[in-house]
Chains A and B, each alone.
Chain A
Amino acid sequence: MRELKILAVVIFFTLLTYWGVEPFAHSQMHAHVEPVDYTYSDLSGLPKKGDAKKGAETIQMAGCTGCHSIESQGMPAPMDAVSASGSYGVNPPDLSSAGALYDEKFLANLIKNPAHALKVDHKFNESKPFPMPAFYGAGGDLDQEVADIVAYLKSIAPKEMEPKAVFEDACGRCHNMKYDNWTVLGEKPKFDDAVQEAEFNVKLAQYEANLKKYLGTTPPDLSMMIRSKGEEYLMNFIGDPQLLLHGTAMPRVGLTKEKAEEVVTYMEKVGDRKKDERNFLGPLILLYFILFSVVAYLWKKQIWREVH
């Protein structure tokens, strides 16, 4: 009985210390933010219903394909990634899967006013314009044309995407993921010889230098981000980077909630690869020590019977 009382005292003070050092201190150091709901409520809605066919024409007329590739529709990129990054700072995205990845309200606003939708207007102004020009219409009703383009992008978008593909399209042009062999230039290939490898590394270094010039900083490798930031933070950060890191160069990418979750899933898969192994082994080892304790207790009882 007395020992249980002592144990209760030990546990109480241990938990008190734990509570103070972990949850309490964290609540004091990190301001609470409301979870990002991915509704993009600060952006205006899509007033018109779009027509995908018309959108296909508009996207050509508006000159989108002057910078963007749509590989799935047989429209290759006009420049290689390194040259494009030299011109724009970052390689413009391929639009094949944009309709699947991004919120349609976000896409419409992005086309009309990219810096505003991306929440990077603190970095760009008239003397330093955002690389993607705003779309002023191809002559008809602007809202209708935007709606058509969005409808077109949605119509060509793949129905299913692997979490890794979502990451590559949405994040992989700025962020490396070296623990999964991903570079901002794509999957790191197998090299036949040292010359090939050196050539690739030069290209990569050039791209990263362009990126740094454009953003002011090199975007971090995301391999360990799941462990340094955690799921909750990442969901909020992807949804609205400015909310958690005011003034950051990272744009709001405009993913739908579902796709953002897939990005986090992928990050967890890379940064915490052994999760399944851990969850499998955990119960077995705990069970072993529970049995160990029971046997030890019975043995102790037997031995101490003689001395008490």
Chain B
Amino acid sequence: MAHFEKANSVGEWLDQRLAVNKLMKVMMTEYWIPKNINFLWAMGVVLMTMFTVLLISGIFLLMYYKPDTKLAFDSVNYTIMQEVYFGWLWRHMHAVAASVVFLVIYIHMFTAIYYGSYKRGREMIWISGMLLFVTFSAEAFSGYMLPWGQMSYWAAQVITNLFGGIPFIGDELVIWIRGNFYVADSTLTRFFMLHVLLLPLVIMGIIGLHFYSLRIPHVNNQEGEEIDFDAEAEKYKAGQKKESKVIPFWPVFLSKDLFVMGVFMIFYFYLVFYHYNFAMDPINFDPANPMKTPAHIYPEWYFLWSYEVLRGFFFDVGPIAAMDIGLAAFGIANVIFFLMPVLDRSPVVKPAHKRGPFFIWFWILVVDMIVLTIWGKLPPTGINAWIGFFATIVFLVSLLVALPAITKKEAERAGGAA
């Protein structure tokens, strides 16, 4: 057994047993971050904060929520919103954070695409991040069902129905997912389990993976510059703080993150107190009614773009039904971003504005996804259907065809220059 000295402080006592000093170094004070970054790199900490808010507010909601179709609506709208001390605050914080977290995820994702943070050794950071996005989506959807309002019910109806489009096993799969032939109490209870237990566990696991995947390739920077982190860290430790290209996570990087987080929290609590309605569809304040379809069924804003891809193909092509093409396109839309490191065939890691055609491609993608998002909510009739169709085509072509093509050219040019 190792030799233990009498400790003179709690810190020392812990250090002997858990090596906390070493741990602090690895995790914080000697975890090196490039100096050359902007506030977009603080989105990770903002996301972590939002996830913590969701977790804590969720625990409080869990104490009063009843996962039963007869009780769910009132347990949320009466017990939590009106009877429990500050239940309304937990609920609004939870609902608004659930919505805002996606805004930050999208900013985080587009930042990575803009600066090329998904390639040259950083593929796992990107892939684990995309895994987080997908599990967050499942988490959001399962949570959306729980208040058992009109839109909860019909969203569950529509989304679970989608699995019916899968060849051969579709119909059985739908029944298996719902636990019944239609969306019912069994569906609610299992989505409750997914939302409060299984998916949060998975998310926490993937967050760990995502953080770990950053350790070796390190965080990218504003110029895509390849930094010798060991050499730069030595400079920093030797006191050449101004010359070194890196800074430690604590306190230097976090001091900036905390400021960004503070500003973000002003925005977040402004929404919680004065604009919570944007995150709560009014239709969901009508209790679920299986006998009455709402006039318009649409998902939350963060799913609208992929929902629009799903219904973008509104006409049959030859023998293939519109529904099947839509479903295939929807499937592609949900996995295509995983393939970014492969689709981008150029080794160049630089911000988009230094990559010529890629810069144009990036902004077309952003605008197209916003168009898809907006038209995903509008009724798919007349001109709206055509706008949705073309935006879907642009989305698929830009990722599947344009991106490999322009980056291949870029790779050739880069190769030629070298």
Contact A14 B242 (CB under 8 A): no
Closest to B269 in A: A285
Min Cβ gap B168→A in Å is: 36
Task: Tell yes or no: B182 within 8 A of A by CB.
Answer: no
A16 contacts which chain B residues (CB < 8 A)? 370
Closest to A294 in B: B262
For window 55-78 of B, CB contacts with A under 8 Å fall at 74, 77-78
Contact B285 A224 (CB under 8 A): yes
Task: Tell yes or no: A45 within 8 A of B by CB.
Answer: no
Task: Tell yes or no: B321 within 8 A of A by CB.
Answer: no
Contact B255 A20 (CB under 8 A): no
A25 contacts which chain B residues (CB < 8 A)? 374, 377-378
Closest to B77 in A: A224
CA distance A282 to B89 in the complex (A): 10
Closest to A21 in B: B301
Contact A24 B283 (CB under 8 A): no
For window 235-252 of B, CB contacts with A under 8 Å fall at 241-242, 244, 247, 251-252
B77 contacts which chain A residues (CB < 8 A)? 179, 223-224
Contact A300 B256 (CB under 8 A): yes
Task: Tell yes or no: A191 within 8 A of B by CB.
Answer: no
Task: Tell yes or no: B220 within 8 A of A by CB.
Answer: no
B366 contacts which chain A residues (CB < 8 A)? 13
Contact A7 B39 (CB under 8 A): yes
Closest to B366 in A: A13
Contact A304 B370 (CB under 8 A): no
Contact A227 B265 (CB under 8 A): no
Min Cβ gap A68→B in Å is: 33
Contact A307 B82 (CB under 8 A): no
Min Cβ gap B58→A in Å is: 19
Task: Tell yes or no: A213 within 8 A of B by CB.
Answer: no
Question: B261-277 vs A: 1/0 string, CB under 8 Å?
Answer: 11101100110011000
Contact A29 to B259, CB < 8 A, known contacts A18-B278, A278-B88, A307-B247:
no
Min Cβ gap B201→A in Å is: 30
CA distance A278 to B256 in the complex (A): 31
B172 contacts which chain A residues (CB < 8 A)? none
Q: How many residues of A sit at the interface, in one of the four size bands?
A: 35 or more
Contact A304 B282 (CB under 8 A): no
Task: Tell yes or no: B187 within 8 A of A by CB.
Answer: no
Selected from B40, B78, B88, B379, the residue in CB contact (under 8 A) with A6 is B40
For window 144-196 of A, CB contacts with B under 8 Å fall at 178-179
Contact A229 B282 (CB under 8 A): yes
For window 281-312 of B, CB contacts with A under 8 Å fall at 282-287, 295-296, 301, 304
For window 248-300 of A, CB contacts with B under 8 Å fall at 273-274, 277-279, 281-282, 285-286, 289-290, 292-293, 296-297, 299-300
Selected from B251, B278, B286, the residue in CB contact (under 8 A) with A220 is B286
Task: Tell yes or no: A3 within 8 A of B by CB.
Answer: yes
Min Cβ gap A74→B in Å is: 39
Contact B278 A303 (CB under 8 A): no
Contact B39 A227 (CB under 8 A): no
Q: How many residues of B sit at the interface, in one of the four size bands?
A: 35 or more
Task: Tell yes or no: A122 within 8 A of B by CB.
Answer: no
Closest to B305 in A: A17
B231 contacts which chain A residues (CB < 8 A)? none
Contact A282 B370 (CB under 8 A): no
A14 contacts which chain B residues (CB < 8 A)? 103
Task: Tell yes or no: B345 within 8 A of A by CB.
Answer: no
Min Cβ gap B202→A in Å is: 28
Contact B273 A296 (CB under 8 A): no
Contact A224 B286 (CB under 8 A): yes
Contact B82 A274 (CB under 8 A): yes
Task: Tell yes or no: A10 within 8 A of B by CB.
Answer: yes
Contact B282 A228 (CB under 8 A): yes
Contact B286 A228 (CB under 8 A): yes
Contact A308 to B282, CB < 8 A, known contacts A13-B366, A20-B373, A25-B377:
no
B259 contacts which chain A residues (CB < 8 A)? 293, 296-297, 299-300
B374 contacts which chain A residues (CB < 8 A)? 17, 20-21, 24-25
Contact B282 A227 (CB under 8 A): yes
Task: Tell yes or no: B350 within 8 A of A by CB.
Answer: no
Contact A293 B301 (CB under 8 A): no
Task: Tell yes or no: A306 within 8 A of B by CB.
Answer: yes
Selected from B35, B255, B261, the residue in CB contact (under 8 A) with A303 is B255
Question: A113-151 vs B: 1/0 string, CB under 8 Å?
Answer: 000000000000000000000000000000000000000
CA distance A220 to B283 in the complex (A): 14
Min Cβ gap B279→A in Å is: 11
A-B contact pairs, 23 of them (CB 8 A): A3-B38, A3-B39, A17-B374, A28-B379, A29-B377, A223-B77, A223-B78, A224-B285, A224-B286, A228-B283, A228-B285, A277-B88, A281-B273, A282-B274, A293-B265, A296-B261, A296-B262, A297-B259, A300-B256, A300-B258, A306-B241, A307-B241, A307-B242
- Going nearest first, the 3 A-B pairs with the smallest beta carbon separation are A20-B374, A293-B262, A282-B273
Q: A residues engaging B (CB < 8 A)?
A: 2-3, 6-7, 10, 13-14, 16-18, 20-22, 24-25, 28-29, 178-179, 220, 223-225, 227-230, 273-274, 277-279, 281-282, 285-286, 289-290, 292-293, 296-297, 299-300, 303-304, 306-308
